[in-house]
Amino acid sequence: MISVEEAQKIILDEIKQTAPEKVLLSQALNRTLAEDIRSPLDHPPWDTSAMDGYAIRISDTASASKSTPVHLTVIEEIPAGKLPQKILGKGEAAKIMTGAPLPKGAEAVVKVEETATDGEGVHIYTPSENGEYIRLQGEAVRAGDAVLKKGTGIRSAEIAMMASVGKSVVPVFQQPRIAVLSTGDELADLDEPRGLDKILNSNGYGLAAQVAEAGGIPVTLGIAKDSKEDLKTKITIGLTSDFLLISGGVSMGDYDFVLEVLESLGVTMRLWKVAMKPGKPVAFGTFQGRPVFGLPGNPVSSMVTFEEFVRPAILKASGRDKIFRPMLTAILSEDIEKRPGRRQFLRAVVSVENGEYKVCSTGDQGSAILMSLVKANALMILPEAGEIIKAGEKVTVQMLSEITA
Ligand code: AMP
Ligand code: MG
């Protein structure tokens, strides 16, 4: 059986980037940049006041103190959004607001708390250093700078940055369309009448949600029966999407026809069975360059194999520079006995105690026990070799979601 890394390599080698497209900045959240973003302008566009106060020449206020203030003539008021009309001369000050452009001749801004007005002018109580409380033109961003790199995932900070340099239309990679097909005679869909011999199709919904979280567009194909004919019909539809995910029917059971049907339709199978728990029977192939995943039917196995193999593939297809979840080291808070053989992905809760990461499992780890994932914010990764890992030892964890206090 091949290792998780070998399987990831086989899969990722087959993944091609989607084509770029342009979207409105307001629609770009969570997408991936398809080009570097360069600023056409300096930011700030002029030297700007960083305080509400008075723009001054530093030689005028060099002797200023609380007991012997310097008196300056106020020649104009510059609110934010107005350009200065005058040049500051000797003995002069301009009242200025935060973000307003600095008048020519000014060398510093004295904040309003260090001044007092008397109707004709302003008393300054303190000397200033050259450049004090001034934001220089281009200090944040210079015209021509690459402010964001191709491959960056767009968060709110990237949206604000692009807005600040006037980028209203953004080049991003297209979102891959990912077909999701559930298989099994025992499955019924939500809200459809069902007999006592049926279970609900949770994988169809869980996988579609994982696709959306990873930035793909889920295309739900519902349920295929465990018959070659029905599988053929629905898989044929699925093969028109960028990716196809099939859950169930990839084990050794008498009704597990998925791999046979995939091959009969011309899918080239590249791997089957990975040394991991849960998720051993995962399968992967390609059809005309498009990835096809056979994920094990057990609800936890399908979601964990999605995490390890499908999510990085979707992110790679979407042009993302970082495609793996963050890994960190945490201190185990219980003893765990790990049998030798496959790498194990225990559903786990990571918390922070006294500034250190702690981790414990979420309890019953059966591969049909969805509650183990509901309670989890991480996967604890136990290496292939078997051993007893004691409370207090360090283990590797893969974060799935935030650490909540
Ligand atoms: P299979 O991989 O088809 O042998 O399925 C393994 C187990 O997962 C069986 O107990 C199935 O009933 C269950 N299962 C398969 N597909 C789904 C699904 N879409 N939703 C929930 N459980 C499923
Ligand atoms: Mg089945």
The pLDDT tens digits for 367-404 are 999 999 999 999 999 999 988 999 999 999 999 999 98
Q: What is the pLDDT of residue 386?
A: 81
Tell me the one-letter amino acid at 235. I
Flag whether the pTM goes above 0.85: yes
- Reported as a pLDDT band with limits 50, 70 and 90, residue 348 is very high
Q: How would you label 131-162 residue by residue, b for 16+ Cβ within 10 Å and e otherwise? A: ebbbbebbebbeeebebbebbbbbeeebbebb
The CATH number of the domain covering residues in 327-399: 2.40.340.10
Compute how many other C-beta atoms are within 10 angstroms of the C-beta atom of residue 110. Answer: 27
**Residue ID of nearest Cα to ligand 1 atom 16:** 297
| Interval 113-131 mean pLDDT | 96
The CATH architecture assigned to 4-17+175-317 reads: 3-Layer(aba) Sandwich (3.40)
Q: Which of 180, 200, 203, 226 to mutate to test the pocket of ligand 1 (most atoms within 8 A of CB)?
A: 203
What are the pLDDT digits (tens) for 196-227?
Answer: 999 999 999 999 999 999 999 999 999 999 99
Q: What is the pLDDT of residue 120?
A: 83
- Reported as a pLDDT band with limits 50, 70 and 90, residue 162 is very high
The Cα 331–Cα 172 span in angstroms is 40
Q: What is the pLDDT of residue 387?
A: 87
Q: What is the pLDDT of residue 119?
A: 82
Ligand nearest to the CA of 223: 1
Per the prediction, the chain carries an average pLDDT of 97
Residues lining ligand 1, Cβ inside 6 A: 182, 184, 186-187, 199, 201-204, 247-249, 251, 253, 296-299
* Domain positions in the chain: 4-17+175-317, 22-37+144-173, 48-135, 327-399
Give me ligand 2 centre to Cα 184, in Å.
4
Give me ligand 2 centre to Cα 100, in Å.
67
The Cα 347–Cα 331 span in angstroms is 15
Give me ligand 2 centre to Cα 255, in Å.
7
Q: How far is CA 228 from the centre of its chain?
A: 39
Percentage of the residues of the chain whose pLDDT score is greater than 90: 98
What are the pLDDT digits (tens) for 4-46?
Answer: 999 999 999 999 999 999 999 999 999 999 999 999 999 999 9
Same fold: 48-135 with 327-399: no
The CATH architecture assigned to 48-135 reads: Beta Complex (2.170)
Contact call for residues 103 and 88 (beta carbons, < 8 A): yes
Instruction: Tell me the CATH number of domain 22-37+144-173, given options 3.40.50.300, 3.90.105.10, 3.30.70.990, 3.30.365.10.
Output: 3.90.105.10
